[in-house]
Structures are given as structure tokens and as C-alpha cells.
Structure 1
Amino acid sequence: MNLDKAGVVVVGGGIVGVTTAYFLATKGHDVVLLEQRELAHGASGRNLGFLHMQNRHGDYAVKLTRAGRALYDDFADILGPAFEYRSNGAMTFFYTDDQRRVYKEFVEARIADGFKAELLDDQAAHEAAPILPPDVIGATFSPEDGQIRTPKFVRALAQECRRLGVRIHENTPVLGLLRNGSKTVGVQTISGNVPANRVVWATGIWSTMLESEGITVPIKAHRLGAVLLAPVEEKLDKILNGPLAAKQYAHIRNLPSYKDEYFTSPSEDHSQGLEHMECVAKTENGNLFIGCPMDYPEQLDDRMPAAGLKLAIDSLLRTFPNYRTLGIESAWAGLVPATADSLPIVDEVEELPGLVLATGHVYGNLAGPITGRLVAELISGEDLSLPLDELSLYRPSLAAPVEGVIRY
């Protein structure tokens, strides 16, 4: 029994899958999109929506994310205000002279790499973000950063996909591939088969289920938590990052003044791989949004661990003790797929002609939309906006195992 049939079937209803379906539809392809639960159920519905350009490094990664970042201006014209797109930049605040020294070098290095960045003193930092506590002595400012509400973006673009003729089937888990010999000719779902000429696999960390098809996708899950709190009156129109995230990024760890001890917290439990990427933002409704406790679950478990929630709340109350009575509206976690080189995998699978991988996005809010465009160009036989060699499933840099604590 067939559920549907298509020229291209896209598996996965997150930011990568929906943008892929959109760009394919704009090029005239007959598209079906399948999602095992509801749209944006996975990582796309469980993050803070940051468009963080400031910590992208490496020539290709910067080109990829700049291209993805630019697409949001186009999507804002198409979708209007539906996804809370803001382009007000991001700040990373700090408390000590040691941290200031490192972040001064960070700003200088970012400017040398062609980014816009500046180092703010105490007064300028508090003027830019009055919500900051008094013991903050300065901050970096990166005006190229922005913010969206990712689940709202995915759902709004899905509506545009439907308008373009894409059939979207939610609550429809895919059980496996349909094959004619080695060739991929569609997928099997719990509701019936979907024959197709091409299959795009865009399921994030759940791409590991392709092991059952004989395809190894070299990604590892790490879990990022988020907490949504009640509205606050203090003005905050930018993303705020605390200093602890510095240790996650190679281009910061390699700075001359950097030392791990400048960027650790007693609340972190490194023996269990529990770390904190402290960040704070506000939604358009004024709710305080905080994150991100992070760890590395052995199983695909997207529940917030108790220790992670405690870490996030402890950090909030240490930074903003005046919020100790602020109500918690919800808390959740998402599983983000990481590769050994922190670049996604966008490639045709040689062993199974007809199957295209679009997965491994550790910064999917930026790289997701441009991935959708690249996949649509690839399937359409068009010139590519960016070369795909560095995103190949078969690139040597994926050979290293992704183990232990992940660093970008």
C-alpha cells in the first residue's frame, strides 16, 4: 500500500528538511516531506534560536554560515514577522581581567578574519544591555549575530511549502528505504510506502538509523538544554553569552592568553561531561530564555537531565539573583549531531544511488537553510552555491572518532 509518491521524498521535519523541501518546490520538484512526530519536534524545536556568527571559524565554515545567515533576510520578506527574526547582535560578558585579556585577543582576531566585532568597557556593556549585573566589567559585541524562534520558522516555512504543493505527513515514522537492487527508490513508513526518484535523509542525530541499511553516518549526539521563564521587564534586545562557552571553541582556546581555569565553574561536572554554555535572551513576549547545560548521552534521550537543569538554574541565580522568584514555564533539551570536524554531511551516498544525506548540523540554525538550497541545486543538476567537497560523507576529516567532550 502506498501512502503517497513523489519525485523527491524528504525525511525529517526540522530546519534542514523543511528548507530542503521549500527550495526543491521552488524549482518545480514534486515533494513529499515525512516527519516521525510533529514538525520541529527534534533539535529545531529545542534550541534558543541563536544565529551565532561570532564563533564560526575556518574558511569553509564561515562561507557556509554567512550564506545561511543571509537567507533569513529573504525568508523575512516571504514569511513576515512569523518567526521572531531579530538581527541585533550578541554580547559575551566577562567578570575578570584574565577573561578580558582573552576576549580582547578574540575581538582582534575576529576583526582580522573579516568579522565585525568590538570590545565594550564596563559602561558601554551596561548601556547596551542594562540587564547585566553590576560585577560585569565588560563584554564583546558581535553585530552580525541574530536570533529566530526556530520552531516558528520551521512551521511558517512548512506552510509556504504546502502552498507550493509539498505534501507533509506528520506522525509518520520512516521504517527504512525502498530499494531496487542497490538503488534507492523511496521509503517505507508505518502508514505505507512512498515511492520516489530521490530520497533526502535530513533527520539529524536519527540519521544513525541508516546503520540498518549498511550506511555508517559518523555523528555523535550531544544534548543541549533550555529553560523558558516568565516575562521580565528589563530591556534585552540582544543575545547574551556568559564567559564559560570560551572553552568550547578552538579559535578561542588557541589564543595566547587563554587558560581553561579562566572559563570554568564549580557547578560543572567534567567527570560526567556536564558543561555549561551560559546564554540569556528574551522572546518577543518578554519571556526570559536561558541555556545551555550540555552533556553527551549514550542513548538518544532528549529529556533534560536533573543535573543539567540544576546547572542552568544555579548559573541564572548566580548571575541574576533578583530572578530567584521568577516562574519557570518550561524546560527541555535537544539532541544535536556533531561530527569530528564540526561540519555537516551533505552528500550523495555512493553505495545507495538515489539517497542524499543532509545531516550532522551542530549549528543548524545557520547551516540548515543553505543546506536546503545546496541539496535542491544538487538534485536539480544546477551549479552549486558552494562546493560540497568539504561536506562529503567520505572526507578524511570524518575518520577521527567523535569521542568524549565535544569541542568546536
Structure 2
Amino acid sequence: MKLDQADVVVVGGGIVGVSTAYFLAAKGHDVVLLEQREIAYGASGRNMGFLHMHNRNGDFSLALSRAGRALYDDFSQLLGPSFEYRANGAMTYFFTDDQRRVYKEFVEDRNKHGFTMELLDGPTAREAAPILPPTVIGATFCPEDGQIRTPKFVRALAQECRRLGVRIHEHTPVLGLTREGAKVTGVRTVGGDVHADRVVWGTGVWSQMLEAEGIHVPIKPERLGAVLFAPVEEHLDKILNGPLAAKQYGHIRSLPSYRDEYFTAPYEDSSHGVEHLECVAKTENGNLFVGCPMDYPEQLDDRMPLGGLKMTIDAVLETFPHYRGLGVEGVWTGLLPATADSLPIVDEVDEAPGLVLATGHVYGNLAGPITGQLVAELISGEELSLPIDEMALDRPALRENSDGVIRW
């Protein structure tokens, strides 16, 4: 049974897949987009929308992130205020002199790498973010960072895709590839086959299902949670990160003054593989948005573990004890497709001509849209905005340090 036919079929309705469909359609390709649930159901609908520039490490990661970050200025013109885009920067607050010493080194390092970043004292930090408690003795500030509401962005861009003629089939799980010999000719879905000259596979952690097709995609699920609370009155128009997040970043851990004990809280559940990446933001409606418990589940389980939820609540109560009576409005976890070097996989698959991988986006809010642009350029035979060699499926980094906890 035939469901549809197109020049390109894109599998996955998250930020990568929708961005790819948009850029392809804008270049004149006939595109079908397939999503197993609904648009922005997975990780794109379950994150805090951070556009974290200052924590990117390595020349290519930074170039990729800056290119992705720049696209949101264009999207804000295209889509208007539909996705709560804010470009007010990010702060990382801290409580102890040991933490301040590490973050001072971090700011110096970031400035050497071309960032505009500064170290604020306590009063200045609280003036910039009045929500911060008096126990905060300082903070870093990077004006390059920003924030979106990712599900709103993906859904708004999907509407633009429809306007450009993209046919979007939601609630249509893909069962596998169709082939003529080795050549990929489309996909099989629960609703019938979709024939296409090219297939773009942008399903995040669900890219692991390609193992059944003989295609090994070296990613592992990384689970990040978030809790949405009722609105609060205190002003906050920036991203806030707490000190505990430091231990997730390799370039912070390598600083001379860094010690794990400076950035570990008693309520963290490290014995069960759960850490807390402390971050706080407010939505456009004033809701307090807090995260993120992080672990690496063995299965594709997008439910918040009880230990992770408790950890998040404990962190809020320790930093903001006056919010003890604040109502909880929602709890989410998203499964990120982590790679050993934290770079995405964007590549044509040699053993399956016609198939393009676009997966492994552990910081998809930044890398997702630029991936869509690069894939559209690749399929169109155009000069690429960025070289994609460092995102190759067969790069050595994916075969090294592939076990254990991944540090960004």
C-alpha cells in the first residue's frame, strides 16, 4: 500500500526533522515529513529551550552553535513572537569562594576563546536577576546565550512547512526502509509506503532502530528532566544555571582549581547514576521552569525517575526556600541522543545510498536548525555553509570513549 511519494522523505518531527523539511521545501523540493506521535512530541517538546553558547567547547562545536544561534534572528522575523525567543544572555550563579575561583578561571578561558563573558559580584548578579537569593555571592554572565520555547518553535516552523507544501503525516510510525538492492527508495510506515529519492533520518534516540537495517548509529540515550511550576513575581529574563552543572562540562573539569566536591550537593543521587544540572528560567507567562536531573537509562524510557524529581525539588527548596508552597504544573523528561564527542551525526550512509543521517543532537536547540540547512544544501548539491566532516558517521571519536558518562 502506498501512502505518499516525494523527492525527499524526512523521518522525525522534532527540531531536526522539521528544520530539514523547511529548508528543503524552501529550496523547491517536494517533501513528506513523518512523525510517530505528533510534532515536537519527543525531546523537542521536553526541554527548557536553552541556547547555551558559552558552554560549547572545540572549534567546530562552537562554529556549528554560532551558525545555529544566528538562524533564530531570521526565524524570529519569519515566525514572529510565536516561540518566546529571548536573546538576553545567561548567568551561572555560585555560593562559595571555591566555586568563584573555578568560575573566574572559566571566564578567563572563555574570553580567550572569543566569548564576551564577565564575572559579576553578588549585588550585581542580583540586580541582573532579582530572583536570586542573598546567599549567591556572584555569577558569570554571557550575553551570547538565548532562550526559546522549543515545542512552540517546532510547531510554528511546521506550520511554515505546510505553507510551503510539505505534507506532514503525524501518528505515522516508520517501520523501516524500502530498498532496491542497496539503494534506499523510501520507507515503510503503518499507513503504507512512502517512495522518495532520498530519506533523511532525524529521529534522535530512535535512530537506534536502524540497527535492524544493518546500520549502526553510535548514540546512547541521555535523559534530562524539567519541572514547570506556577508563575512567580520575581523578575527573570535570562537563563540561570546553578553551580552543580559545572561537572557536566569537560572544559570546566579541566580547569586548575576544579574539584568535584565543590560542585556536588548532598541531595544528588550519583550512586544511582543521576546528577543534577541546576538551571532555572521563566516562561513568557511567568512560570518558573526548573531542571535538570540527568541520567543514562538502559531503555528508551522518557518518564521522570522518582529520584530525579526529588532531586529537582530538593534543589529548588535549597536555593529558593520561599517557594515551598509553589504549585507544580508539569513534569517532563526528554531523551537526548548523546554521542561520545557530543557532536551530531550528519552524513550520507555509504552502505545505504539515498539515506542521510541527521541525529545525535545533544544540544539540538542550537545544532538542530543549522543541521536542517546543511542537509538541505547537501541534498541540493550546493556548497555547504559549514564542512560536515567532523560529523561523519565513521569518525574515530565515535569509536573512542563510547562507554560510561558522557561529558559535554
Distance (Å, rounded) in 1 between the aligned partners of 2:404 and 2:340? 11
Distance 1:237 1:314 in 2: 24
Q: 2:178 corresponds to which residue?
A: 178
Q: Which residue of 2 aligns with 1:334?
A: 334
Maintained 8 Å contact 1:102/1:257? yes
Tell me, yes or no, if the aligned pair for 1:273 and 1:404 is still in contact at 8 Å. Answer: no
User: TM-score, normalised on structure 1?
Assistant: 0.99
CA distance in 1, matches of 2:362, 2:332: 18
Distance 1:396 1:132 in 2: 43
SS where residue 357 of structure 1 aligns? strand
Aligned equivalent of 2:214: 214
The DSSP-based 3-state class of the residue aligned with 2:162 is helix
Q: Which residue of 1 aligns with 2:399?
A: 399
Alignment of 1:135-150 (within 5 A): 135-150=135-150
| Residue of structure 2 in register with 1:305 after alignment | 305
Residue 53 of structure 1 corresponds to: 53
Amino acid at match of 2:280: V
Residues 13-92 of structure 1 aligned to structure 2 (within 5 Å): 13-92=13-92
Of stretches 317-326 and 396-405 in structure 1, the one that deviates more from structure 2 is 396-405
Task: Spell out, residue by residue over 1:118-153, the C-alpha distance to the aligned partner (whole angstroms, 9 max, x if none).
Answer: 000011001001110111000000100000000000
- Aligned residues with identical type, % of pairs: 77
On the 8 A contact 1:99/1:243 being kept in 2, the answer is yes
The change in CA–CA distance for 1:93 and 1:407 in structure 2 (over 3 A counts) is same
Q: Which residue identity is paired with 1:20?
A: T
1:253-298 CA deviation, whole Å, 9 max, x = no partner?
Answer: 1111111110001111212110000000000000000000011110
- Separation in 1, partners of 2:382, 2:271: 49
Partners of 1:114 and 1:332 in 2: CA distance: 35
Gaps of 5+ in 2: none
Separation in 1, partners of 2:293, 2:90? 19
Q: What is the number of residues matched between the two proteins?
A: 408
Equivalent residues in 2 for 1:94-243, closer than 5 Å: 94-243=94-243
The corresponding residue for 1:288 is 288
After superposition, the C-alpha distances for 1:86-123 in whole angstroms (9 at most, x for unaligned) are: 00000000000000000001001111100010000011
Match of 1:269 in 2: 269
Report the equivalent of 2:9. Answer: 9
8 A contact 1:102–1:258 mirrored in 2: yes
Q: Distance in 2 between matches of 1:30 and 1:287?
A: 40
What amino acid maps onto 2:233 in structure 1?
A: E
Q: Secondary structure at the match of 1:4?
A: strand
Structure 1 residue identity aligned to 2:93: F
Q: Distance between the aligned counterparts of 2:259 and 2:170, measured in 1?
A: 47
Report the equivalent of 1:254.
254
Give 3-state SS (helix, strand or coil) of 2:3's partner. coil
Measured after TM superposition, the shift of residue 332 of structure 1 is 1.1
Match of 2:344 in 1: 344
Whole-angstrom CA distance in 2 between matches of 1:130 and 1:403: 41
2:158 & 2:320 partners in 1: Cα distance?
A: 38
Task: Kindly provide the CA deviation profile for residues 289-330 of structure 1, in whole angstroms up to 9, marking residues without a partner as x.
Answer: 000001111000000011100000000000000000000001
For residue 403 of structure 1, report the CA deviation from its aligned partner: 2.1
Aligned twin of 1:361? 361
Distance 1:78 1:132 in 2: 34
